[in-house]
Structure 1
Amino acid sequence: MSKKGFTLAEVLITLSIIGVVAALTVPTLVRNYEDAANAAKAKKVYSEIANAWKLYLSDNGGSPVGTFSTRSGLQETFLKKYFKYTILTSYGDGTALTAKALNGGAPLSIDTGITTSDGIFIGIYYAEGACKPNGCATLIVDLNGKSKGPNRFGYDIYSIYLMPDGAFAYKDNQQNIENTTCLKPNQNPKWDEWYNGGNGCFSKPA
């Protein structure tokens, strides 16, 4: 009894079908994996920053007021002291992070910060030693560092508030901007006018 195998044409057709299915499904699977990994890493980084800020408050008598007055001052007293870092980013040295907005708006340049020993960039966008009216500082965190993309808010870049009583992700602040910045386009046109596109997507990759 002779055995009939697959013809070359049948094999090629089968491989083509497998290729099409893979092309349609693999990118989605990879993106879902990357999103989950980013979310987990974002929460871990937030926890580390929150704990470091808590220690900073304790070391300064419970209040950060007056312990710094500029971004470089916060870099010196907080980032360099409470984190292990390998690269220092300072104003004018040409190594700033260019953070893209989810909504396609103008990118934001972060020129003061550190790159930690595990490759995370922690930058300082805003710093106010008096801790008012917008808190003490706003940190911009790039989970995979400045040199690896996409360098976009809501994906690998997130913002964290440093307040007199602790560190908070954007979704925890009173402005409650998470739902107005995690969509494209944003639900609230106000946030389309600034770099905030994706800024409130902490631990919720867009």
Structure 2
Amino acid sequence: MFKKGFTLAEVLITLSIIGIVAALTVPSLVKDFKETQYKIAWKKAFSMASQAGLALAAKHDGDLAGVYVTKNTAHENAFVIRKDLERYLGGYVKTCDNCDQSKKICFPEHKPLNKHSGSVHGSCSGNGSGVSAILKNGMSINMTDPDPACGTAPNWICFGIQIDVNGTKGPNIIGKDMFELSINRNGIVRPTGWTKTNNQILTEWSGCHSGGLGWYCSAWYLRQ
């Protein structure tokens, strides 16, 4: 007795259904995978920065307040910090110091998580704040101009570092592949938003949600 096989029409219908399901699910799976990779990379970057901050403070007897006041401007002092941090961040493959937008930048322009107007620039574009570098591990950093006195109590922030975990490649969005931290006078590293409650992180304008700017994602993902 012969068993009846599938007709060509049935095979084509089945393949069409499989194709439709794949078209609906694969992009979502790819997006979720990429975002998971960004979060993992951020945790690694934060660990690296934490070790670098403590090592930098140890080099200066445990206190960075008053250390970076050797140059005429805070922007010039940022160059000194970048040089001091290089050995602790694993070395640089490229550095950027000027604001000539015709030159290749180390730290690309980043858009807010909510895609509204506004952006964050590296040292070679836009506002020219801080100095930038590409690390040997492929990440990009932008260092804000330091406060020589390291701010005020209780935070005592000396300077901030923005990190794009996949370098100059996209999506270049705050809270997706770019995160921010600060280093205090004792070399302790804190993510932006670390003083906020979970509810504040998920509701405030700078928060980590579809309507927020994305800055607090730096703290939120480290809590997960």
TM-score w.r.t. length of structure 1: 0.85
CA gap 1:123/1:8 in 2 versus in 1, 3 angstroms: same
RMSD over aligned CA atoms reads: 2.2
Equivalent in the alignment of 2:19: 19
- Counterpart of 1:48 in structure 2 is 48
Task: Name the counterpart of 2:110.
Answer: 99
More strand by share: 1
Q: Distance in 2 between matches of 1:174 and 1:39?
A: 19
Counterparts in 2 of 1:174 and 1:25: CA distance versus 1, 3 Å: closer
Structure 2 distance, partners of 1:19, 1:76, is 53
Kindly, what percent of the aligned residue pairs are identical? 30
Q: Deviations over 1:139-189 (max 9, x none)?
A: 11000001x100000100000111123111113236986332111213xxx
1-structure distance, mates of 2:171, 2:182 = 22
8 Å CA contact retained: 1:110, 1:125: no
Paired position in structure 1 for 2:126: none
Q: Which runs of 5+ in 1 are unaligned?
A: 187-196
Matches within 5 A, 1:1-206: 1-68=1-68, 69=74, 70-78=77-85, 80-83=86-89, 84-93=91-100, 94=103, 95=105, 96-103=107-114, 104-111=116-123, 112-133=131-152, 135-146=157-168, 148-165=169-186, 166-173=188-195, 178-179=201-202, 180=204, 181-186=207-212, 197-202=213-218, 204=221
Closer, same or farther in 2 for the Cα pair 1:56/1:100, shift >3 Å?
same
- Structure 1 residues 174, 62: CA separation in 2 closer, same or farther (over 3 Å shift)? farther
5+ residue gaps, structure 2: 69-73, 124-130
Change beyond 3 A, Cα 1:204–1:64 = same
Say which is worse superposed, 62-71 or 135-144, in terms of deviation: 62-71
Q: Are the equivalent residues in 1 in contact too, given 2:51–2:88 (CA < 8 A)?
A: no
Q: How many residues align?
A: 193
Measured in 2, the distance between the counterparts of 1:8 and 1:129 equals 76
Task: Say if 2:193 and 2:215, in contact at 8 Å, map to a contact too.
Answer: no
CA contact (8 A) 1:122 1:141 kept: yes
Go from structure 1 to structure 2 and tell me whether the alpha carbon gap of 1:198 and 1:174 turns closer, same or farther (over 3 Å shift). Answer: closer
SS at match of 1:161: strand
Q: What is the CA-CA distance between 1:105 and the residue it aligns to?
A: 2.5
